[in-house]
Chains A and B, each alone.
Chain A
Amino acid sequence: KAGVTQTPRYLIKTRGQQVTLSCSPISGHRSVSWYQQTPGQGLQFLFEYFSETQRNKGNFPGRFSGRQFSNSRSEMNVSTLELGDSALYLCASSLDGGHANEQFFGPGTRLTVL
């Protein structure tokens, strides 16, 4: 069974641009969660989508948004990029969400904002 895949793996953008990251969950998994990982703040929860609906949300500004499609694939969008948005963005999928026992993480997308 294929694992969680994230594309692209690396991305370089400049301030003010916007970016879209993609996450394909494990087949059959309906929940996708997104996390931002930085050396200073560690791993912070962005949001979780389950059956195309946002179920949980972290404390990030509205520039960070996401969506989930009917095939459970999810995209995350960051508008008006800032230098501080440089981070590793991880997504995790699970069958029905919530319980970390069932969460599987992708390798991440490393975003660099210049």
Chain B
Amino acid sequence: GEDVEQSLFLSVREGDSSVINCTYTDSSSTYLYWYKQEPGAGLQLLTYIFSNMDMKQDQRLTVLLNKKDKHLSLRIADTQTGDSAIYFCAESKNRDDKIIFGKGTRLHILP
């Protein structure tokens, strides 16, 4: 079946790195995504990775994919107060397939 799991909460001190982890069950997942949801807003796509990639870096964001373990992580370097949000991991099999989301990890920034 299709399932995406992630921890619900993460607290990080400002300036430290945040690492949000996600596991998925469908080995045929082709696209893996990270979305950010700020209070009162919809979801915003942060980054995505294809299943044939191991890593993708985009400024302060680094995505790591371990396809064998079906594990995806998002690292945010130099975490800022503006990074406080809910982060969703998601996957889909192909271009036209539905997208399955995890329940989201709420990132709390400590001063």
Q: Does A100 contact B (CB under 8 A)?
A: yes
Task: Report B10 CB to chain A, min CB distance, Å.
Answer: 16
With a cutoff of 8 Å between Cβ atoms, the chain A residues found around residue B88 in the complex are 42-43
Number of interface residues of B (CB under 8 A): 24
B45/A101 in contact, CB under 8 A:
yes
Instruction: Find residues 58-94 in chain A having any chain B CB closer than 8 Å to their own CB.
Output: 58, 90, 92
CA distance A99 to B30 in the complex (A): 10
Q: How far is the CA of A48 from the CA of B98 in the complex (A)?
A: 8
Query: Given that A105-B43, A105-B44, A107-B41 are contacting pairs, would A100 and B102 also be in contact in the complex, using a CB cutoff of 8 Å?
Result: no
Tell me which residues from 41 to 67 in chain B have a Cβ below 8 Å from any Cβ of chain A. 41-45, 48
Asked if A103 is at the interface of the complex by the 8 Å CB criterion, the answer is yes
A90 touches B100 (CB 8 A): no
Is A25 in the interface zone, CB < 8 Å from B? Answer: no
Any A CB within 8 A of the CB of B103: yes
**Which residues of B sit under 8 angstroms from A106, Cβ to Cβ?**
42
Contact assessment for B98 and A100 in the assembled complex, using a CB-CB cutoff below 8 Å: no
How far is A90 from B35 in the complex, measured between Cα atoms in Å?
Answer: 14
Instruction: Assess the B98–A90 pair: CB atoms within 8 A.
Output: no
Which residues of chain B are near A42, meaning CB under 8 Å? 88, 101-104
Selected A-B contacts with CB under 8 Å, 6 pairs: A4-B42, A42-B88, A43-B104, A56-B96, A90-B43, A98-B94
Residues of B within 8 A of A35 (CB): 101
B97 contacts chain A at the CB level, 8 A cutoff: yes
Q: Decide if B103 touches A98 in the complex (CB within 8 Å).
A: no
A residues within 8 A CB of B101? 35, 42-45
In the docked arrangement, what's the CA distance between A56 and B95, Å?
12
Minimal beta-carbon separation of B33 from chain A (angstroms):
5
Interface flag for B40 (CB, 8 Å): yes
